[in-house]
Amino acid sequence: MEIAVCFKIVPDYEDVIPKDWEDMENIDFTFVKKIFGCYDEAALEAALQMKDALQKAGKSVHLTAVTAGEGVSRLFTALYGAGFDEVVHISDEKIEFCPEETAKRLGQYLQPKKPDLILTGRMTGAGDSGMVPVCLAAGMGYEWITDVTDVSYNVENDRLEVWNQDTQNEICRVLDFPTVCSIGDGKHPYLRLVPLKAQMEARKKKPTKYDYEEEKEYNSSLVRYKECKQATICHMIESEDIKESAVWLMNVISEEVR
């Protein structure tokens, strides 16, 4: 079985200092540590969990992790160490606010491989549109299901069993291959820890470079950034001393508990 995971490497926004957000022309994330998109990380681990289960059932699995955009060798090494058979890096071009383009690049690599299952995170950041997996599925003619919490393979009927959530329920659905599953609040949100020996081995492996073949230019409809319109107006509690503030706060809490 061929399983591919599409992921994005993003800056850790927790590390961006407040002053840097003030620049409306550009945001400099170069000094910020890079991490896997949080839902993508859950998708990567879900694929590894599935590989473990399939291998236990005597099935052969090939696991590929694919990213378009920024690449970070430390993270590629972590993927090889964790158990991915291949890590593919599609160009270094930074693609922002143009999900169709990202999906096209991923699709061009994945189409000839025809993976049985493609896993992605449901989105990569707070303001991300979450459109890449949908466009990828539409472009490849795959079904798409989102807010997935767990994926498993039913050996008896050769089908997928996918748990996802709506506002009120956890739902288990039967799906045919091929399918794109977008992982939301995954059962395993973090990539497994890799033993030192496996890490050393993984360092010898390099990601496969894939050059996108079509014209490189694309149009993003971004005009410019702007300051957020403050939706709420913060009422600052001014009191003579901290004791008075604590009494006020405890009153609010007591009312809520009542």
Partner 1 sequence: MRVNIVFPADVGKSDYIGIWERFMGLFAPFSKKEASMEVRTLYLTETGDLPCEVSAEGQVDCIGIQKDLSSGTLSKYLSGYLVEHPAELCIFAPTMEGKILARLCAAANKWEYYGEVVEFAEDEMQIIRKVYSTHKDAIFRIDAGRNVIVPTAGGEKQECNFSAQNVVVNYEKWPEEKEEQGRILKKIPKPAADDISKAKLVFIGGRGLKKKENYVRLKELAKKCGAFCGCTRPVALSGWEDYSNVVGISGNSLTATVCVTFGVSGSAPFLYGMENVGRLIAINTDPDAPVFAAAQDGMIEDCIQMMEEMEKVMFGEN
CB of 200 to partner 1, least distance (A): 24
Residue with tokens 């991915």: 84
Q: By CB under 8 A, tell whether 26 contacts partner 1.
A: no
Asked if 162 contacts 181 with a C-beta cutoff of 8 angstroms, the reply is yes
Nearer residue to partner 1 within complex by CB, 56 or 258: 258
Nearer residue to partner 1 within complex by CB, 71 or 178: 178
Number of residues that bind partner 1 (CB under 8 A): 68
Distance CA 155, CA 138 (A): 27
How far apart are the two ends of the chain, measured CA to CA in Å?
Answer: 56
x/- binding map, residues 145-164, to partner 1, per CB under 8 A?
xxx-------------x---
Nearer residue to partner 1 within complex by CB, 55 or 220: 220
Q: CB atoms < 10 A from the CB of 164, how many?
A: 22
Nearer residue to partner 1 within complex by CB, 60 or 230: 230
Name 81's Cβ contacts closer than 8 Å, sequence gap at least 6: 194, 198, 199, 201, 202
- Using CB under 8 A, pick the residue from 110, 117, 135, 181 that binds partner 1: 135
C-alpha 178: how far from chain center? 20
- Using CB under 8 A, pick the residue from 1, 38, 53, 72 that binds partner 1: 38
Residues 45-74 that bind partner 1 (CB under 8 A): none
- Using CB under 8 A, pick the residue from 31, 158, 189, 209 that binds partner 1: 189
Distance CA 183, CA 204 (A): 30
Q: By CB under 8 A, tell whether 169 contacts partner 1.
A: yes
- Using CB under 8 A, pick the residue from 155, 172, 193, 200 that binds partner 1: 172
Q: How many CA atoms lie within 13 A of 231 on its CB side?
A: 0
Q: CB atoms < 10 A from the CB of 19, how many?
A: 7
x/- binding map, residues 88-117, to partner 1, per CB under 8 A?
---------x-xx-----------------
CB crowding 173-191: b at 16 or more within 10 Å, else e: eeeebbbbbbbbebebeeb
Q: Tokens for 202?
A: 């993984």
Contact residues: partner 1, CB under 8 A: 13-14, 16, 18, 21, 24, 27, 38, 97, 99-100, 125-127, 129-131, 134-135, 137-138, 143-147, 161, 165-176, 189-190, 221-232, 234-237, 242-243, 245-247, 249-250, 252-253, 256-257
